[in-house]
Amino acid sequence: MANEFTFRITTTRFDEDYAPAETSRATTNFANLARGEHRRENLRNALTMIDRRFNALADWDNPNRDRYTVELEIISVELQFTAEDEDREFPLLEFLDVQIVDLLTGARHQGIVGNNFSSYVRDFDFSVRLPAFKEASTGSTVPDDFGDLHGKLFQHFLDSDVYRDRFPLSPVICISVSTSRTYHRTDNHHPILGVEYRQDEFSLTDEYFARMGLQVRYFMPAGATAPLAFYFRGDLPNDYSTLQLIGAISTMETFQKIYRPELYNANAAAGSVYRPTLDQQDYSRTQIGYDREERSRLAITQGKYTHEHLMTPHGDLLEQWAASTPALVR
């Protein structure tokens, strides 16, 4: 298996009994919620918020707004390779898989994977590599190949049999819009995704996801207070069913209300021109405890872990593989 990279998937049920394993990434939103004395209450409240938001959007033939429930699994992806004649493994990615249960008919529907996407290599890029480059550089603030290795590993995973045998559709990664950009509301309106916003200049995050082969569109669903950024392959409005899109929105909007209430639990919705800011105080806090500063500190810790255990000992192997990998889909 020399110079080859393969993958192994493990799953963990995300419910009110969830407790992060020692190997789980500590910076993910769901792991952050599942610590402390109020962990079960935090998890129960988050799952209730997801179900309520789902039923509010899936309101047809659903008079009591209780027809559906959402079940979540954490998908953990290990990178497997051989170095110095030994088989090695390193935690690469984590994200959520969504299952939608129709409590009226008993039917189960496969949702969209990708929410709460997190990555050790991404932590390394943003928390270790980028700050070091900025400190040493007198010109460019971003390396020319920034995100290239991560993007190639991600696309290699999506194109692998391990992914394709388990997931029928490409992932959608839904995150907060950037606080460094201004978004303009358009006349385009999707019945589920909501009103579309646009901005003319990619943020660093947009560029990073582009290296993963993902394009981006920004939509504000009905009842939301700010647009979300949707990163995807293919055709976002047409490749997924109505229930699948609702599952992605209800899951990630809930986490953003907890993580960034200044934007997603604001007391007033975004206008025709929207510049997100975490400094505004006109918002409501959820009943869920969340330590945003701790999450930022842990991202640095895990970036350093990646530097020590992956990039330093195996950087040459990774660079050789990346150099031989075809150009990315952009």
- Which pLDDT belongs to residue 59? 97
For residues 43-59, average pLDDT: 96
- Which pLDDT belongs to residue 184? 98
Per-residue pLDDT reduced to its tens digit, 171-188? 999 999 999 999 999 999
In terms of pLDDT, which residue wins out, 201 or 194? 194
pLDDT band at residue 288 under the 50/70/90 scheme = confident
* In a domain? residue 330: no
* In a domain? residue 32: yes
- Which pLDDT belongs to residue 326? 77
- Across the chain, mean pLDDT equals 91
- Which pLDDT belongs to residue 266? 97
Asked if the model's pLDDT at residue 29 lies above 60, the reply is no
Q: At what angle do helices 312-324 and 148-158 cross, to 10 degrees?
A: 70
- Which pLDDT belongs to residue 161? 96
Asked if the model's pLDDT at residue 22 lies above 80, the reply is no
Tell me if residue 93 falls in helix, strand or coil: strand
Q: What letter does residue 119 receive in the DSSP assignment?
A: E
Residue 183 host element (H or E): strand 183-190
In terms of pLDDT, which residue wins out, 169 or 3? 169
Asked if the model's pLDDT at residue 235 lies above 90, the reply is yes
Which of 12-16, 165-169, 290-294 is least confident? 290-294
Contacts of 264 (CB under 8 A, 6+ apart): 176, 224, 225, 226, 253, 256, 257
* In a domain? residue 57: yes
pLDDT band at residue 269 under the 50/70/90 scheme = very high
- Which pLDDT belongs to residue 111? 97
pLDDT band at residue 299 under the 50/70/90 scheme = confident
* In a domain? residue 63: yes
* In a domain? residue 42: yes
- Which pLDDT belongs to residue 2? 46
* In a domain? residue 328: no
pLDDT band at residue 3 under the 50/70/90 scheme = low
For residues 114-125, average pLDDT: 93
Residue 78: exposed, middle, or buried by beta-carbon count in 10 A (0-12, 13-18, 19+)?
Answer: middle
Asked if the model's pLDDT at residue 94 lies above 70, the reply is yes
Asked if the model's pLDDT at residue 165 lies above 50, the reply is yes
* In a domain? residue 41: yes
Structurally, how many domains does the chain consist of? 1
Contacts of 139 (CB under 8 A, 6+ apart): none
For residues 197-220, average pLDDT: 95
- Which pLDDT belongs to residue 301? 87
In terms of pLDDT, which residue wins out, 84 or 124? 124
- Which pLDDT belongs to residue 140? 74
Q: Can you give the residue range of the structural domain that contains 233?
A: 6-318
Q: Which ranges in 203-259 belong to alpha helices (H)?
A: 204-210, 236-239, 242-259
Distance CA 124, CA 112 (A): 27
Asked if the model's pLDDT at residue 36 lies above 70, the reply is no
In terms of pLDDT, which residue wins out, 330 or 32? 32
* In a domain? residue 326: no
- Which pLDDT belongs to residue 328? 58
- Which pLDDT belongs to residue 28? 53
For residues 2-6, average pLDDT: 76
- Which pLDDT belongs to residue 1? 39
pLDDT band at residue 298 under the 50/70/90 scheme = confident
